[in-house]
């Protein structure tokens, strides 16, 4: 099987838009994942974020764990602290532009001097998400190519989040009773995810659903995948695919650093499958059934609370 790798450098060229839109959409119909090259986010911006994240994750745990994730999707989650007890650390930066400045008490002090850099990077990611959403509307034949994009305003809601992740290298494996995996199999809950990688390790369920395929890591490429909200909204035309990171694929003594930007529709967005007359079978997101008419905000709150519990629902 050939994992889809698509050049989107001409995505703003009217003569190339439809072709690129069809290629991106076809990949998301079959795989739910693709690698894009020729994107608009500068390599220098990506490298700067990776460097800052690494410096942060190298700090003593005592300087990080006093800032747990909150209902604004801001805060730190250490290894073994989520529902699945996965061996990974993550730092979340949720909210609209300006939210981080307004909620400094939720952020470890390390980040106070780097807020503008984080905000700038989030803005670049959001711009790319909007272009991809326009591709889907164009390829799916919707009368308004901004049908999805208009529901993803950057200045509304807390759903658009940047998550920095570190899978640490350990000298000894953690006892099995204390750890789940590196990252448990799951689908993302939002619309579109951009994953920046410094090393491979993510495994994706194949289109046939019968084997796990290691997603490639290629320099200057971004791994893109569809979330449950957009899949459900598209009438299951676009595919939200299970993915994971295991200790077989990423042993305990190997480190992996990634960053994920989760693009989500605005909280008041009502999810109704867009395919008229088509009966969408029961659709589940992280164990929760999606019903037509659920709002994006309701779905997000249920899923995040289910994963992070009181650490997410408590306001800082």
Q: What is the pLDDT of residue 278?
A: 59
Cα 86 to Cα 82, 164, 168, 222: the distances in Å are: 7, 15, 11, 24
**Residue closest to 242 by CA, chosen among 210, 201, 216, 205:** 205
Token pair listed for 111 = 């980040």
Q: Is 141 left (phi over 0), alpha (psi -120 to 50) or beta?
A: left
Cα 27 to Cα 23, 254, 281: the distances in Å are: 6, 30, 22
> Domain range for residue 161?
5-312
User: CB of 178 within 8 A of CB of 80?
Assistant: yes
As a 3-state breakdown, the chain gives helix, strand, coil percent values, each rounded to 5, of: 30, 20, 50
DSSP 216: P
* Contacting residues for 227 by C-beta, under 8 A, at least 6 apart: 187, 188, 189, 190, 191, 192, 193, 240, 262, 264
User: CB of 35 within 8 A of CB of 5?
Assistant: yes
CATH code of the domain containing 97: 2.60.120.330
Token pair listed for 54 = 């690494």
Write out the H or E segment, with its range, that includes residue 175.
none
Q: Positive or negative, the Cα torsion across 154, 35, 121, 286?
A: positive
User: CB of 212 within 8 A of CB of 202?
Assistant: no
Per-residue pLDDT tens, the chain, 316 aa: give them: 689 999 999 999 999 999 999 999 999 999 999 999 999 999 999 999 999 999 999 999 999 999 999 888 899 999 988 777 889 999 999 999 999 999 999 999 999 999 999 999 999 999 999 999 999 999 999 999 999 999 999 998 877 899 999 999 999 988 877 788 899 999 998 999 999 999 999 999 999 999 999 999 999 999 999 999 999 899 889 999 999 999 999 999 999 999 999 999 999 999 988 875 555 667 777 778 888 888 998 887 777 777 766 555 544 3
What's the structural domain count of the chain?
1
pTM greater than the 0.85 cutoff: yes
Length of the chain as a residue count: 316
CB atoms within 10 A of CB 249: 17
- Which residues does residue 33 pair with via DSSP β-bridges, in sequence order? 225
- Which residues does residue 225 pair with via DSSP β-bridges, in sequence order? 33, 193
User: CB of 69 within 8 A of CB of 76?
Assistant: yes
């Amino acid at each position: 099987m050939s994992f889809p790798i698509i050049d989107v450098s001409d995505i703003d060229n009217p003569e190339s838009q439809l072709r690129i839109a069809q290629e991106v959409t076809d990949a998301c119909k079959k795989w739910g994942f693709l690698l894009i090259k020729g994107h608009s986010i500068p390599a220098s911006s990506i490298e700067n974020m990776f460097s800052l994240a690494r410096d942060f994750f190298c700090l003593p745990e005592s300087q990080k764990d006093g800032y747990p994730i909150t209902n604004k999707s801001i805060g730190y989650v250490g290894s073994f602290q989520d529902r699945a007890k996965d061996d990974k650390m993550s730092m979340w930066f949720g909210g609209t532009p300006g939210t981080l400045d307004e909620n400094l008490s939720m952020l470890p002090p390390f980040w106070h001097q780097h807020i503008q850099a984080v905000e700038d990077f989030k803005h670049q990611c959001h711009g790319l998400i909007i272009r991809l959403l326009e591709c889907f509307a164009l390829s799916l034949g919707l009368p308004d190519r901004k049908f999805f994009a208009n529901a993803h305003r950057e200045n509304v809601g807390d759903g658009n989040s940047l998550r920095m992740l570190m899978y640490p290298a350990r000298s000894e494996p953690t006892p099995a009773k204390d750890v789940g995996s590196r990252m448990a199999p799951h689908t993302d809950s939002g619309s579109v995810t951009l994953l920046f990688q410094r090393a491979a390790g993510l495994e994706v369920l194949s289109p046939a659903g019968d084997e796990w395929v290691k997603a490639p890591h290629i320099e200057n490429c971004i791994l893109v995948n569809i979330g449950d909200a957009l899949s459900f909204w598209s009438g299951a035309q676009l595919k939200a695919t299970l993915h994971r990171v295991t200790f077989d694929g990423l042993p305990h003594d190997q480190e992996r650093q990634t960053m994920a930007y989760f693009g989500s529709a605005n909280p008041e967005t009502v999810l109704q499958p867009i395919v008229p007359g088509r009966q969408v079978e029961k659709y589940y997101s992280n164990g929760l059934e999606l019903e037509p008419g659920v709002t994006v905000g309701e779905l997000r709150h249920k899923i995040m609370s289910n994963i992070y519990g009181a650490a997410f629902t408590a306001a800082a």
